[in-house]
Amino acid sequence: MDELYLTLADMKAKYNQQCDKHRATIAAEEQSDMLDYSEMLDYFKRSDDRFYSLVQQDASMRNETKRIKFEAQRAESLHKVIQSFMECKSKGIELPASLLASITGADVNSC
């Protein structure tokens, strides 16, 4: 049982590392994009407000796409954790709902 707790704790740590890595990557990409866009925005702002608006919309859509991809990866990781939890349960290993809640960040009462 202790090994199972260690395995689940390890899964939680890996999941948190993966989330932190994705957040850092997205933040770095957004900052890089914003620097590129700021140069373009300055040019377009001087030449035509219509183009300025289009570049802003494009930047917003790119950032939203990155966020959606991150959320999809996060959901996939959560699914794997829950699947492992359910496999333990199907093998007759009863784990407390609070453990799943601590790994996934869910409300204990919803488990």
Tens digits of residue pLDDT in 74-91: 888 888 888 888 888 888
51-74 tens-digit pLDDT: 777 778 888 888 888 889 988 988
Tokens 């914003």 correspond to what residue?
34
- Cα-based angle 59, 64, 69 (whole degrees, multiple of 5): 130
Token pair of 68, please?
A: 């959606």
Q: What's the confidence (pLDDT) of residue 108?
A: 53
Q: Is the dihedral of CA 92, 111, 2, 74 positive or negative?
A: positive
With cut-offs at 50, 70 and 90, classify the pLDDT of residue 22.
confident
| Structural domain boundaries in the chain | 2-106
Query: Helix, strand or coil for residue 104?
Result: helix
H runs (alpha helix) in the chain: 2-47, 49-90, 97-104
